Amino acid sequence: MKQKQQIMKTPEKLTLARLPTPLEPLDRLSNKLRGPRIWVKRDDLTESTGSGNKIRKLEYVMADALRTGASVVITSGGIQSNHCRATAFAAAKLGISCHLILRGRPPASLDGNLLLDRLLGATISYATAAEFADLDSLYKRTEKLYSDQGISTYSIPIGASNALGMWGYINAAVELKADFLSHNIQPDHIFSATGSGGTLAGLIVGQQLFQLPGKIAGFNVADDGEFFRTKIAADIDNWGRQFGANLPALPIKIIEGYVGPGYGRAGPEVFSCIDLVAKLEGLILDPVYTGKAFHGMLESIRRGQLKNSSDIVFLHTGGIFGLFPHRASFTGPDSPPV
Ligand SMILES: Cc1ncc(COP(=O)(O)O)c(C=O)c1O
């Protein structure tokens, strides 16, 4: 707790997520694989419409938005962004407006997260991939649309992965530590999907501050390991400067090889993994984030890379609504062999 006392400013937070989330063992799957006991931290249960990891970050980021008196929050992501849907949810719940800048063309029909964005009243603008490459300009243009009308805005980066958002997973590290104590386990590994880096950055800092056991690793679902090591190191650095903590250089482990055909697209092995886990454990994963990471974790077990581990933890970061636009890829009724 020595490091904890070095933190000068602890930010305000709202209560938007239903916490603590459960930590549950997947015993049928673990037995079938003859590997370590797999536990799932159910952050897919943080809320219903706002479910997933983003709502933990938004408890801090939206508190800051309200503090500034903003009437509109602006954020961005892919057409099926879970973060955008969670932001639209939080804004509606707090009685302010939300503007989403989504990468891609308006689809012919509303589906998954996009349907919820619209139901929640978000204003949506679409940007081409080329426009999205200069996201700063898109944010500035959108902010100006409102400021020209005398409306104040608050901009949130992709995935709410900034120093403030990291607090969501610093606190999750405290929660995990209590989970481990109550289940009397000392997990060797904690795995998560990594999309914009904030979840992993928060967990890594939380581990350092609160002595959470286990090696933390993220499976990147876009870009590559180098990109995320650089991004997460910069986020941790910013966090230290913003909140007055003097952190040593912390290990950032990214496991590559599971992006598949690209961000938002998945190969048959990911759909097989989702199918297997759903049928065996009643646990639903998604093809964009958790399905890829979970598949990567099962591959590590199958290759014997975790044979010395007794307990491992998978952080289920949500994303269920992103499953529905991929309905065509679930073809067969049978579970694949393990
Ligand atoms: C369901 C889901 N899991 C994992 C992630 C990755 O989290 P982070 O962006 O904090 O790396 C995201 C968002 O990017 C997500 O929507």
H/E run at residue 190? strand 189-194
Q: Give the position, in ligand 1's atom list, of the atom nearest the Cα of 286.
A: 1
pLDDT in tens, 133-191: 999 999 999 999 999 999 999 999 999 999 999 999 999 999 999 999 999 999 999 99
Instruction: Give the per-residue pLDDT at 3.
Output: 47
Pair of tokens at residue 166: 């990291």
* Residue 306 half-sphere exposure toward CB, CA atoms < 13 A: 27
H/E run at residue 278? helix 268-281
Could you give the percent of the chain with pLDDT greater than 90? 94
Among 30, 51, 76, 81, which one carries the catalytic annotation?
Answer: 81
147: Cα separation from own chain's centroid: 31
pLDDT over 60 at 4, yes or no:
no
Pair of tokens at residue 13: 């937070």
Ligand 1 centre from 289 Cα, in Å?
Answer: 6
* Residue 179 half-sphere exposure toward CB, CA atoms < 13 A: 27
How many CB atoms sit inside 10 A of residue 153's CB?
20
Pair of tokens at residue 103: 């990468």
Kindly list the domain boundaries of the chain, sorted by start residue.
Answer: 2-49+164-329, 54-160
Instruction: Give the per-residue pLDDT at 184.
Output: 98
Q: Whose CA is nearest to atom 13 of ligand 1?
A: 195
Ligand 1 centre from 2 Cα, in Å?
Answer: 30
**What whole-number distance in Å separates Cα of residue 20 and Cα of residue 14?**
15
Tokens 């929640």 appear where? 120
pLDDT over 50 at 109, yes or no:
yes
2-49+164-329 and 54-160 in the same fold: yes
pLDDT in tens, 203-215: 999 999 999 999 9
The pairing of beta strand 189-194 with beta strand 153-155: unpaired
> Is residue 192 among the annotated active site residues?
no
**What whole-number distance in Å separates Cα of residue 70 and Cα of residue 331?**
46
Domain 54-160 is of which CATH architecture? 3-Layer(aba) Sandwich (3.40)
How many CB atoms sit inside 10 A of residue 174's CB?
15
Q: In what order do the strands lie in the sheet with 123-127?
A: 123-127, 97-103, 72-78, 153-155
CA torsion angle for 244, 253, 170, 210 (degrees, to 10)?
-80
Predicted TM-score (pTM) of the model is: 0.95
Instruction: Give the per-residue pLDDT at 307.
Output: 95
CATH no. for 2-49+164-329? 3.40.50.1100
Answer yes or no: are the C-beta atoms of 97 and 146 closer than 8 Å: no
Tokens 């961000």 appear where? 263
pLDDT over 60 at 337, yes or no:
no
Pair of tokens at residue 263: 């961000």
Ligand 1 site residues (CB inside 6 A) read 52-53, 82-83, 159, 161, 193-200, 289-290, 317-319
Q: Give the position, in ligand 1's atom list, of the atom nearest the Cα of 201.
A: 10
Q: Whose CA is nearest to atom 9 of ligand 1?
A: 196
Choice from 53, 61, 194 to test ligand 1 binding pocket (greatest atom count within 8 A of CB): 53
Alpha helices in the chain (DSSP H): 2-6, 27-33, 54-67, 82-94, 112-119, 129-132, 135-147, 163-183, 198-210, 225-243, 268-281, 290-302
Cα 262 to Cα 30, 181, 259: the distances in Å are 29, 38, 6
Top-confidence residue, 269 or 2: 269
